[in-house]
Amino acid sequence: MHLAGTGLVALFVIALGFIYWRDRNALKARRFKLFEACLALFDHHRLTQDAVNFPVLTGSYGGFDVRIEPLADHVVFRKIPSLWLLVTVKHALPMDGTFDLLARAQNVEFYSPSDSLQVRIATPDAWPRHTTLKADRPAAELPMNVLDPHVRTLFADPRSKELVVTRRGVRIVYQAHSGNRSEYLVMRSAAFREAHVPAALLRSLLDQAVAVCVDLAGGGAHARG
């Protein structure tokens, strides 16, 4: 009887291990398809996936080197988790400072450089009231007039979270998905089931980031402030 019981326990452990392995592989495969509809946008691309995380997409878009990193955010207790897209266009820009415009700041945006920037700048009257502007230098040394139309367009969308501009390029942070409320409150699980990124959405975000780069680069010395 003892041997039979031990055998049943072993079989049970093996079955649990198989279920875990099956579900983990299914989750990994499902998440790998996040950008499935978007790949034709790129001149060339590469997808890299760490364990069961969402894949990071790098490649060339319209001649610009880009990186799109999904980031699952469930830091704030009782807040519905978000799946952010960190859309970065790499391009040398004629500006010396760092500009960070963050929407609905809650001091838990671990992906944002905002906390490390020491200069708080009053947002222009025409910009959304729910944004916080920080930099590493005064507003007079930043290309505020060049950025103005881009800020108004980008943050007219309530899912836009952040615009970061440095001498190395531009990053837009955008809420691609929010988690299932009931599942998260009960299970504390941020699964983002069936999450995918539409090609039209990613094209729009990339085009906006590229447009910022092009305008700043075209501004030359004027873009320095």
pLDDT for 222: 37
pLDDT for 193: 66
CA distance 162 to 167: 17
pTM for the structure as a whole: 0.84
Task: Say whether 75 sits in a helix, a strand or coil.
Answer: coil
Amino acid symbol at 224: R
CA distance 190 to 210: 31
pLDDT digits (tens, 9 = 90+) for 188-208: 555 676 789 999 999 999 999
Residue 93 contacts residue 216 (beta carbons within 8 Å): yes
Q: Pick from 169, 177, 180, 208: which is nearest to 65 by CA? A: 169
pLDDT for 107: 83
**Residues pairing with 89 in the sheet:** 66, 170
pLDDT for 178: 79
What torsion do the CA atoms of 64, 35, 177, 52 make, to the nearest 10 degrees?
-110
Furthest C-alpha separation in the chain: 85
Structure tokens at 111: 């992906």
pLDDT for 49: 92
Helix (H) and strand (E) counts in the chain: 4, 9
pLDDT digits (tens, 9 = 90+) for 1-15: 566 666 666 665 665
Q: State the residue for tokens 């873009």.
A: 223
pLDDT for 220: 45
pLDDT for 223: 47
**Which residues have CB under 8 Å from 57's CB, separation 6+?**
35, 38, 45, 46, 47, 67, 68, 69
Q: Which ranges of the chain have pLDDT less than 70?
A: 1-28, 74-79, 179-191, 193, 220-225
pLDDT digits (tens, 9 = 90+) for 82-110: 899 999 999 999 988 899 999 998 888 98
pLDDT for 62: 95
